[in-house]
């Protein structure tokens, strides 16, 4: 997605901005969703799943719990009141499970998929896998607590909107923004606090401004969970195991000396996702998949769909799956298709790989598109291209 400021939860009580819309990336009321397919092959669990809870107009659904690759993984979906990047709270201690009186903080999370409205085409829910450092499948009764959802801060935040929030809260803080564009593309952002109340420290003033750059919805959402004993233990599919990455049903193709393999699929309404991995052509460069949506397409029931966005799922990511081999680059490709299209057989086309300097990080970032091209200016001028195409027959039938 975007680089995010690590916003302090400390100033939350001071700012009283919780009226600002919440939820994971997008909002709008949606019909009660059907039990979504998970990206793993884990069997459905008996009650207490699913269950839901609404606080301050933001509904959170608890879908599943299991031991995945040696850690407790709980799947949730939450409503998105706006199309902003809504995620679980920035305080690492603000989301936790309580087991036998012991509080265990969130260790990581990763997006599973979005739910999309058939009427508007906009995202209504974001679904995530929350990970906690618990490996015992005989965990017994536990409580999941989520204290906040907030919008991550874009690379260039809306300074005017943030100043308005501070003024409405009567904080007595004013600031000016500075941004610098580089000749090579990209740029930097910063701000200077020009006014603050007497006695307020510089640190607290900056925390207040940082908090104002986001919208927040505070809970808590608390789920009492009495899971089956023992919990189902799974090895992730498509998330590869430490011993190596295996293609799903031998779905692998070689072009221009590079192997690309499909490790899993997911389908939910108009969303179809394909998980792919590949070994970069060279170690001395950062290789990425797309500069334009047309670089990756999916053929479904006679129709061709360009990729919507690409989520990096490689080994040292922030999505809670650190075990993927360092040799590989792995990504989740998301497409918007016809809601009722037959997805049992689809064809994935990856047309090119793009080379960037090894330290650029372009191979380890999420990719979004705007105006028909990549939005990250720092990763928009490749050194070279490697042409495929890599064409793989894959698919996943709807349930």
Q: What are phi and psi of 319, to 5 degrees?
A: -100, 10
Asked if 102 and 143 count as a contact pair (C-beta separation under 8 A), the reply is no
- For residue 205, the surrounding DSSP H or E stretch is helix 202-212
pTM summary value: 0.49
- Interatomic CA distance for residues 24 and 85, integer angstroms: 6
Pairing of β 329-336 and β 95-99 = unpaired
CB burial readout 135-165, b (16+ within 10 A) else e: eeeebeebebebbbbbbbbbbebebeebbeb
DSSP string, 6-54: ---STTHHHH--TTS--SSS-----PPPP-PPPSS-PPPP-TT-SEEEE
For residue 183, the model assigns a pLDDT of 53
For residue 335, the model assigns a pLDDT of 93
Question: DSSP H helical segments within 267-340, as ranges?
Answer: none
3-state helix, strand, coil in the chain (%, to 5): 10, 45, 45
For residue 46, the model assigns a pLDDT of 41
Give the residue among 3, 33, 55, 50 at the shortest CA–CA distance from 125: 33
Q: Please name each of the domains of the chain with its CATH number.
A: 12-152+217-234 (2.60.40), 159-213 (no CATH), 248-394 (2.60.40)
For residue 151, the model assigns a pLDDT of 86
For residue 194, the model assigns a pLDDT of 93
For residue 327, the model assigns a pLDDT of 61
Residues in the chain: 399
For residue 22, the model assigns a pLDDT of 33
For residue 230, the model assigns a pLDDT of 76
For residue 12, the model assigns a pLDDT of 35
From first to last of the 399 residues of the chain, give the pLDDT tens digit: 333 333 333 333 233 333 333 333 333 222 223 333 333 333 344 445 678 899 988 999 998 888 876 788 888 989 988 888 788 876 768 899 999 889 999 888 877 777 877 788 788 888 888 889 888 888 888 999 999 998 877 777 889 999 999 999 999 999 999 876 555 445 567 889 999 999 999 989 998 998 898 888 998 999 998 876 677 666 544 333 333 455 677 788 888 888 888 888 888 888 999 989 887 888 788 899 999 999 999 999 999 999 999 988 764 333 333 333 456 788 899 999 998 899 999 999 999 999 999 888 898 888 999 888 999 889 999 999 999 899 999 998 887
């Amino acid at each position: 997605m975007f680089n995010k400021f690590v916003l302090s939860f400390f100033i939350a009580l001071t700012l009283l901005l919780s009226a600002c819309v919440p939820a994971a990336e997008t909002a709008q009321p949606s019909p009660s969703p059907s039990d979504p397919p998970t990206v793993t092959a884990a069997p459905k669990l008996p009650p207490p799943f699913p269950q839901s809870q609404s606080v301050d107009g933001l509904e959170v659904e608890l879908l599943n719990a299991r031991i995945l690759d040696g850690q407790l993984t709980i799947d949730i979906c939450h409503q998105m009141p706006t199309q902003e990047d809504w995620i679980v709270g920035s305080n690492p201690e603000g989301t936790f499970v309580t087991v036998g009186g012991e509080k265990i903080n969130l260790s990581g999370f990763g997006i599973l998929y979005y739910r999309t409205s058939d009427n508007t085409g906009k995202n209504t829910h974001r679904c995530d896998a929350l990970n906690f450092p618990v490996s015992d499948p005989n965990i017994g009764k536990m409580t999941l607590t989520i204290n906040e959802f907030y919008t991550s801060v874009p690379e260039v935040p809306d300074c005017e909107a943030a100043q308005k929030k501070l003024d409405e809260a009567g904080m007595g803080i004013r600031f000016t923004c500075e941004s610098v564009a580089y000749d090579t593309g990209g740029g930097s952002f910063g701000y200077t606090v020009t006014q603050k109340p007497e006695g307020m420290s510089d640190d607290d003033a900056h925390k207040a401004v940082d908090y104002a750059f986001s919208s927040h919805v505070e809970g808590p959402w608390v789920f009492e969970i009495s899971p089956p004993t023992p919990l189902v233990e799974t090895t992730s599919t498509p998330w590869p195991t430490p011993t190596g990455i295996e293609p799903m049903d031998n779905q692998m193709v070689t072009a221009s000396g590079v192997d690309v393999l499909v490790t899993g699929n997911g389908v939910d309404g108009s969303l179809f996702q394909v998980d792919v991995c590949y070994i970069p052509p060279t170690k001395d460069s950062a290789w990425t998949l797309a500069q334009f949506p047309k670089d990756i397409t999916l053929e479904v029931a006679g129709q061709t769909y360009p990729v919507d966005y690409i989520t990096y799922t490689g080994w040292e990511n922030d999505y809670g799956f650190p075990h993927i081999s360092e040799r590989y680059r792995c990504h989740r490709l998301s497409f918007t298709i016809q809601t009722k299209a037959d997805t049992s057989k689809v064809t994935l086309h990856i047309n090119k790989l793009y080379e960037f300097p090894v330290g650029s990080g372009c191979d380890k970032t999420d990719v979004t598109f705007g105006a028909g091209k990549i939005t990250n200016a720092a990763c928009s001028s490749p050194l070279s291209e490697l042409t495929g195409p890599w064409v793989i027959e894959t698919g996943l039938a709807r349930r």
